[in-house]
Chain A
Amino acid sequence: MKTSVPVEPNLQVSAARSPKKSRTFTMQSITPYLYIAPHLLFFLIFLVLPTGYGVYLSLHDWDLLRPAKFVGLENYYDIFFNKDSIDYSEFWNACWNTFKFVIFAVPVLILVPLLLAIAIDTKTWGSGFFRALFYAPSLLSVVTAVLIWVWMFDSNAGLVNYYLAKLGITGVAWLADLPWAWIALVIITVWWTIGRNLIIFLAGLNDIPDDLHEAAKLDGAGKVSRFLNVILPGLRGPMLFALVTTTIDSFNIFGQSMVATQGGPGTETKTLIMYIREAAFGSYRMGDAAAMAIVMGMFMLIVSVVQFGWINRDRSGRKRRTQAE
C-alpha cells in the first residue's frame, strides 16, 4: 500500500525526441490507455455501474415485475427505525448472528493455523505431508465441505456423536441446538478454510531470520518468551493480512449455514447474506435487499478501515523500530 507512484519519464522523453513529433506523441499517449482499456471497461460495467445502480435500487421499491417505485429513504428508515417493518427485526437479528460468527470464528481461524504452522516449521517428520493435508480441504467447494460435515454431525448415525458416546459423553444435536450449531459452523469453517492462513503463516515464519531464534536461545529465552518476542513480532505482517481477509470472509458467511443449518434453530444462525438473498430472490423485495446490502457493506467497510488503520500504524511502527536497530 505505497502512497507514491514512481513517475516514469522515459516515454515522454523519447516522444519529445522523436522527429515526427506530433504523431508519435499521439501514439505514445494512446498506448497506456489501450493497456488499461479492457480492464477499465469491465470495471465500469460490472463494478462501478452496479454500485451506483445498487444505490438507485435502494431508494426504490421493486419486485422485478412491476416498474420500480421511488420511495426515497424509506427502505433505510425501515431498517433502522421502523419497528413495524419486517426488516427492522430480521435484519438486526441476522446482523447480530453474523457478528457472532465473526467473533467466534476469527480468533479460531487465526490461532489454529498459527499453532499448526509453528509445529510444521520445526521441520518435523512429514511436515510436507501435514502442510498438504491441512491445506487440501480449502480446495473443496463450500457445499462439498459442509455436506461432509452434515453427515459427520448427524445426531444418530454420525461419527462425532458415535465417538463421543464411546467416551461416555452424551451426544448433542449439533445442527439443531444452541450453542452447538455455532460451534459446528465454526468447526466446519476451520476444517475447510485454515489452509490459506496456515500457508501464509508458514511463509512468514520462513522469513524470520534463523539468527534471531538462535540469539534468543543463547540468551536463555524459554519457549514461551521466544514465541512472544521472536515469532509473534516476526509474524505481524502476515497476521494482519490474515486477520483482515478472514474477517471479510467471515462476514460473508453464507454457504455454511445455508447448507448445514438452514439458519436454524429458529433463525439463530441465519446470516446477513442469507437474509438479504431471501429478501431479494425469495420475497422479491429488491429495493429493501439492496438497501440492506449497502448497510451491511458499510459495516464491513468500517471494520476494514479500522483494521487497515492498524496495519498502517503497525507498518510505520515497524519501520521506526528497524531504523532504531
Chain B
Amino acid sequence: MKSAKVLQLAMASALGFSLVLTGCSSTTTKEASSTSDSKKVTLEFWNGFTGPDGNDMKKIVDGFNKQYEGKIEIKTQTMKWDQFYDKIRTVVNSGTAPDVAAMHLDQVPRMASKGVLTPLDDLLKDSDLKKEDFIPQVWDAGIYESKRYSVPLDVHPIALYYNVDLLKKEGFDKPPATMADFVKIAKATTKDTDGDGKIDQWGFGMPTLWPANLMYYSTLRQFGGESVSKDGMTALYNDDKGVKALQTLSDLIYKDKISPEKIQADGEVTLFKQGKMAMTINGIWMINGFKEQQGLNFAAAAIPQFGDMPATWANSHNFVIPKQKKDDPEKTKAAITFINYVTSNSIEWAKGGQIPAKNSVRDSAEFKALKEQSAIAEQVPYLVFPPASPTYVDVWAPAETAINKALLGQMTPQAALDEAKDKGEKAAKAAK
C-alpha cells in the first residue's frame, strides 16, 4: 500500500516535477505555467509562528503568492506550537490535513513514526534541495528509519545577550567565553545600586522555566552527557554528567548568588529589558524584542562554556508534508516548490532572529550584515540538536519539570532527575 503510493509519487515526480523544481528564479514562473495549464493549486500551510516570526513568514508567503499568482496559492494557518502538535495528528486522522507544514526538528521522528508525515526522498530527488547546501547536522536530523521526512528552514540556537552599558561600567568590554569569566562579570554587575541593602541589579538571570531546559541541554552536552538513548526509551540525563550540569546551573542562583531566585516565566527577560540585569541567555529569536526596548543597549554572543567542551542547544524549523487520505501529486509538487522558495528566500526569515539552514543564504553578505545574527551563528559548528527518536519528547519532557524543581530549590538535582527518568520512561512506554 505504502510503497505503491510512493511509487506513484515517484512516477509523477519523474514526469513533471523536474521542470518546476529547477529553481525559483523568474524563469520558474513560465515553466510552472506551462506545466499546470491554468489550474490553480491552493495549499494549506500550517505553522506555529504566532509571534513576530509570523509576520516574517507572512512576508515570504506573500512574496511567493505574488510570484506564483494564478498557479499556486498558499493559505496560512497559524496556531500555538503545542496546539499545533496536538492537532496535526487528529487532522491527519480525519483526512483534513494541511498540504504543507512547519515543524520542529525534535517532533519529526515522533510524527513520522505515527504515520503523520509523507516521506520526501523521491520528491526531493530532482529538486535542488540537497545535503551539500545545508548545515549537515540539521539535514541529517530529518531522517527517520532511513527515510527523509523534512527539509530544514533554519536553525535557532540560544545565545548570550549582554547589556553593553552595565558591562562597560564595571570595566568589561567583551562578553565572557568561559565559566570563570562569566561568574566574574556576573558578580561584578550584581549589586545594590540604591544602597537600601537589597540587591536590585543582577549579573545574570537563571530562569526556572523555559528556556532553562535549553541551557540545561547545552550544559549537559558540554559535560559530555546525553539526554536520551538512541532508541528513545531510556533517560540518560540523570547520570553524573547530567547531575553536574544541573548543579552548575543551580549554583549560579544559590552558590554564586548572581541570579535572583525563583524567576517567574519570562521574568529574566523583563529584568534584562528593564536594564536591571547584565546578562541573559535566551533564543536567537529574542533579538528584535530586545531591539524594541527603549534605552536598552545590548549585544549578542555565543553562550559561555560551562562544561568541558563547547556545545549549544539549537532546534530547527522544518518543512514537512503531512499525509493525506488521498495523494494529490499536483499539490505535493506545489508544496516542494513552496519549500524550495522559502528556504532560498530565508534571508527575510533570518532578519526576524533565525539562522538560515541553507549555506548559500548563510554565507551571503546580506546575512553577514545582520550583526547579532551573525555573532550567534558563530556557534554553528558545535550546535547540538535533540536526538531523532519518536519517544524523545516523552522521555525528555519530565526533565523540564525536574529542572524547574531543582532550580526552585525544591529538590536536589539528583532526586529531581531520577524522578524525571522514572516518569519519562513510563511515558515513553505508554506512548509506544
Direct touching of A and B (C-beta under 8 Å): yes
Establish whether residues B430 and A86, one from each chain, have CB atoms under 8 Å apart when the complex forms: yes
Establish whether residues B90 and A64, one from each chain, have CB atoms under 8 Å apart when the complex forms: yes
Q: Is B40 an interface residue (CB 8 A)?
A: no
Number of interface residues of B (CB under 8 A): 36
Contacts of A90 in B (CB 8 A): 423
Contacts of B270 in A (CB 8 A): 154, 156-157
Name the distance in Å between A25's Cβ and chain B's nearest Cβ: 48
A177 CA / B410 CA spacing, docked (Å): 10
A264 CA / B431 CA spacing, docked (Å): 23
Q: Is B145 an interface residue (CB 8 A)?
A: no
The listed residue with most B CB atoms (<10 A of its CB), out of A64, A84, A282, A288, is A282
Number of residue pairs A-B, CB distance < 8 angstroms: 89
Q: Is B209 an interface residue (CB 8 A)?
A: yes
Q: Mark A246-282, 1 if CB is under 8 A from B, else 0.
A: 0000000000000000101111000000000000011
Name the distance in Å between B305's Cβ and chain A's nearest Cβ: 28
Establish whether residues B430 and A283, one from each chain, have CB atoms under 8 Å apart when the complex forms: yes
Establish whether residues A84 and B426, one from each chain, have CB atoms under 8 Å apart when the complex forms: yes
Establish whether residues B274 and A86, one from each chain, have CB atoms under 8 Å apart when the complex forms: no
Contacts of B263 in A (CB 8 A): 155, 173, 176
Establish whether residues B262 and A177, one from each chain, have CB atoms under 8 Å apart when the complex forms: yes
A319 CA / B431 CA spacing, docked (Å): 56
The listed residue with most B CB atoms (<10 A of its CB), out of A262, A266, A267, is A266
Contacts of A155 in B (CB 8 A): 263-264, 267
Q: A156-B274, A157-B274, A265-B208 are known contacts. Are A284 and B89 too (CB-CB below 8 A)?
A: yes
Q: Could you say which of B85, B87, B208, B402 contacts A176, with CB atoms under 8 Å apart?
A: B208
Establish whether residues A85 and B430, one from each chain, have CB atoms under 8 Å apart when the complex forms: yes
Q: Is B6 an interface residue (CB 8 A)?
A: no
Establish whether residues B429 and A86, one from each chain, have CB atoms under 8 Å apart when the complex forms: yes
A209 CA / B89 CA spacing, docked (Å): 60
With CB as the reference atom, state the residue of chain A lying closest to B401.
A266
Establish whether residues A265 and B267, one from each chain, have CB atoms under 8 Å apart when the complex forms: no
Within 8 A of B (CB), among A142-183: 153-157, 170, 172-178
Contacts of B271 in A (CB 8 A): 156
A155 CA / B263 CA spacing, docked (Å): 8
Interface of A is mostly: loop
The listed residue with most B CB atoms (<10 A of its CB), out of A153, A178, A267, is A267
Name the distance in Å between B417's Cβ and chain A's nearest Cβ: 13
A283 CA / B426 CA spacing, docked (Å): 13
A86 CA / B428 CA spacing, docked (Å): 9
The listed residue with most B CB atoms (<10 A of its CB), out of A65, A172, A285, is A65
Contacts of B429 in A (CB 8 A): 84, 86
Name the distance in Å between B402's Cβ and chain A's nearest Cβ: 8
Q: Is B14 an interface residue (CB 8 A)?
A: no
Q: Could you say which of A84, A173, A281, A285 contacts B431, with CB atoms under 8 Å apart?
A: A285
Q: Is B351 an interface residue (CB 8 A)?
A: no
A176 CA / B409 CA spacing, docked (Å): 12
Within 8 A of A (CB), among B394-420: 394, 401-402, 404-405, 408, 410
Establish whether residues A266 and B430, one from each chain, have CB atoms under 8 Å apart when the complex forms: no
Establish whether residues B401 and A89, one from each chain, have CB atoms under 8 Å apart when the complex forms: no
Q: A64-B93, A283-B431, A285-B431 are known contacts. Are A154 and B264 too (CB-CB below 8 A)?
A: yes
Contacts of A87 in B (CB 8 A): 430
With CB as the reference atom, state the residue of chain B lying closest to A284.
B89
Name the distance in Å between B415's Cβ and chain A's nearest Cβ: 12
With CB as the reference atom, state the residue of chain B lying closest to A178.
B410
Establish whether residues B85 and A173, one from each chain, have CB atoms under 8 Å apart when the complex forms: no
Contacts of A178 in B (CB 8 A): 410
A89 CA / B421 CA spacing, docked (Å): 13
Establish whether residues A65 and B404, one from each chain, have CB atoms under 8 Å apart when the complex forms: no
Contacts of A121 in B (CB 8 A): none
A87 CA / B430 CA spacing, docked (Å): 9
Contacts of B115 in A (CB 8 A): 65
A64 CA / B208 CA spacing, docked (Å): 35
Establish whether residues B405 and A175, one from each chain, have CB atoms under 8 Å apart when the complex forms: no
Name the distance in Å between B81's Cβ and chain A's nearest Cβ: 12
Within 8 A of B (CB), among A169-206: 170, 172-178
Establish whether residues B264 and A266, one from each chain, have CB atoms under 8 Å apart when the complex forms: no
A283 CA / B82 CA spacing, docked (Å): 11
Contacts of A266 in B (CB 8 A): 401-402, 404-405, 408, 410
Establish whether residues A64 and B431, one from each chain, have CB atoms under 8 Å apart when the complex forms: no
A265 CA / B287 CA spacing, docked (Å): 27
Contacts of A176 in B (CB 8 A): 208-209, 262-265, 267, 408
Name the distance in Å between A302's Cβ and chain B's nearest Cβ: 27
Establish whether residues A283 and B427, one from each chain, have CB atoms under 8 Å apart when the complex forms: yes
A133 CA / B312 CA spacing, docked (Å): 52
Name the distance in Å between B238's Cβ and chain A's nearest Cβ: 16
A265 CA / B208 CA spacing, docked (Å): 9
Establish whether residues A281 and B208, one from each chain, have CB atoms under 8 Å apart when the complex forms: no
Name the distance in Å between A184's Cβ and chain B's nearest Cβ: 10
A237 CA / B329 CA spacing, docked (Å): 67
Within 8 A of A (CB), among B196-229: 198, 208-209
Within 8 A of A (CB), among B269-304: 270-271, 274, 276
Name the distance in Å between B153's Cβ and chain A's nearest Cβ: 24
Q: Is B58 an interface residue (CB 8 A)?
A: no
A265 CA / B87 CA spacing, docked (Å): 26
Q: A89-B423, A155-B267, A156-B271 are known contacts. Are A284 and B114 too (CB-CB below 8 A)?
A: yes
Name the distance in Å between A137's Cβ and chain B's nearest Cβ: 23
A262 CA / B209 CA spacing, docked (Å): 10
Q: Is B86 an interface residue (CB 8 A)?
A: yes
Name the distance in Å between B86's Cβ and chain A's nearest Cβ: 4
A-B contact pairs, 7 of them (CB 8 A): A65-B114, A156-B276, A173-B262, A177-B262, A265-B405, A283-B430, A284-B114
Q: Which residues of chain B have a CB within 8 Å of any CB of chain A?
A: 82, 85-87, 89-90, 92-93, 114-115, 198, 208-209, 262-265, 267, 270-271, 274, 276, 394, 401-402, 404-405, 408, 410, 422-423, 426-427, 429-431
Beyond A154-B267, A282-B86: 13 further Cβ-contacts under 8 Å? A65-B89, A65-B114, A86-B427, A156-B271, A156-B276, A175-B264, A176-B209, A176-B264, A264-B209, A264-B401, A265-B410, A282-B82, A282-B85
The 6 closest A-B pairs by CB, nearest first: A86-B426, A173-B262, A176-B264, A281-B86, A156-B270, A155-B264
